[in-house]
């Protein structure tokens, strides 16, 4: 009944979704059946900051980005979402409105559950609640780390770290090095690191001339990860 790219694939993704770790495949099947599938083109907004939070989602294909608009209108990129990652869960569990906007940055697919359905699932499968806690704890630690970074480091180090993080989350080995497999503009990198697209552009140009990275339109390849680590840790003389 299911075409090969729907429920059966869903299950495969859900099996390696941290939120559902430890849940048996048959229970996962139940869980999957309680979900809604949404397949969207690039640019689609899953939900918008400030809207009443109604659903928890897991990305099954593609990539999404979570952004937040400052009262002053400046955008900040909170994080990218990769397949098998949960998003939108914080709002449902915490406050009643989404604290970020979620947008697909390439053709994507997500499964989602209504907040009360998820609450039900957590009651029925306590492991899911535990997983959610562990995930949130991890998110908190990451945010604290970024906060410290933003407070204490220079732009160049922050950009280096952002790229290294992205490589870990969405890196793909290619001939020239590690490709960050997300359409990633200079503007995105700037919003991710709290700087401007101009500064990011200059930094990437310099790194490219030093052979550290390859930078193209919405595309970054890390050629010398270790070199970036050196920059990130500020062990640099100043270079040139």
Task: Give the footprint of a second copy on this chain (CB under 8 A).
Answer: 68, 70-72, 74, 76, 78, 90-91, 93-95, 99-100, 123, 126, 129-130, 132-134, 136-141, 143-153, 191, 193-194, 233-234
Question: Are 64 and 80 spatial neighbours (Cβ–Cβ below 8 Å)?
Answer: yes
Closest approach of DNA to the CB of residue 17, in Å: 30
Three-state SS string over the chain comes to: CCCCCCHHHHHHHHHCCHHHCCCCHHHHHHHHHCCEEEEECCCCEEECCCCECCEEEEEEECCEEEEEECCCCCEEEEEEECCCCEECHHHHHCCCECCCEEEECCCEEEEEEEHHHHHHHHHHCHHHHHHHHHHHHHHHHHHHHHHHHHHHCCHHHHHHHHHHHHHHHHEEEECCEEEECCCCCHHHHHHHHCCCHHHHHHHHHHHHHCCCEEEECCEEEECCHHHHHHHHCCCCCCCC
For DNA, which is the closer residue by CB, 9 or 208?
Answer: 208
- In the list DNA, a second copy, none, the entry touching 214 (Cβ below 5 to 8 angstroms by class) is none
Closest approach of a second copy to the CB of residue 125, in Å: 13
Sites of contact with DNA (CB under 7 A): 154-156, 185-187, 194-199, 201-202, 204-205, 208, 215-218
Closest approach of DNA to the CB of residue 163, in Å: 13
- In the list DNA, a second copy, none, the entry touching 218 (Cβ below 5 to 8 angstroms by class) is DNA
For DNA, which is the closer residue by CB, 95 or 236?
Answer: 236
- In the list DNA, a second copy, none, the entry touching 202 (Cβ below 5 to 8 angstroms by class) is DNA
Beta bridge partners of 216: 219
For DNA, which is the closer residue by CB, 55 or 195?
Answer: 195
For a second copy, which is the closer residue by CB, 38 or 139?
Answer: 139
- In the list DNA, a second copy, none, the entry touching 138 (Cβ below 5 to 8 angstroms by class) is a second copy
Closest approach of a second copy to the CB of residue 208, in Å: 25
């Amino acid at each position: 009944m299911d075409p090969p790219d729907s429920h059966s694939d869903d299950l495969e993704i859900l099996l390696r979704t941290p939120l559902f770790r430890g849940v048996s495949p048959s229970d996962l099947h139940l869980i999957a059946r309680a979900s809604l599938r949404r397949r969207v083109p690039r640019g689609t907004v899953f939900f918008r900051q400030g809207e009443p939070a109604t659903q928890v989602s897991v990305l099954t294909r593609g990539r999404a980005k979570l952004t937040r608009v400052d009262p002053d209108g400046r955008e900040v990129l909170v994080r990218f979402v990769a397949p098998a990652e949960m998003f939108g869960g914080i709002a449902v569990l915490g406050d009643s409105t989404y604290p970020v906007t979620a947008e697909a940055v390439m053709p994507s697919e997500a499964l989602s559950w209504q907040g009360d359905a998820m609450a039900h699932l957590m009651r029925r499968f306590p492991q899911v609640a535990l997983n959610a806690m562990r995930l949130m704890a991890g998110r908190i630690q990451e945010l604290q780390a970024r906060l410290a970074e933003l407070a204490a480091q220079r732009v160049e180090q922050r950009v280096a770290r952002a790229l290294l993080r992205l490589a870990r989350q969405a890196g793909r080995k290619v001939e020239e090095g590690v490709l960050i497999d997300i359409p990633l503009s200079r503007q995105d990198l700037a919003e991710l690191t709290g700087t401007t697209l101009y500064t990011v552009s200059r930094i990437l140009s310099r790194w490219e001339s030093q052979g550290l990275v390859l930078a193209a339109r919405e595309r970054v390849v890390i050629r010398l990860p270790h070199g970036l680590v050196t920059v990130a840790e500020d062990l640099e003389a100043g270079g040139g």
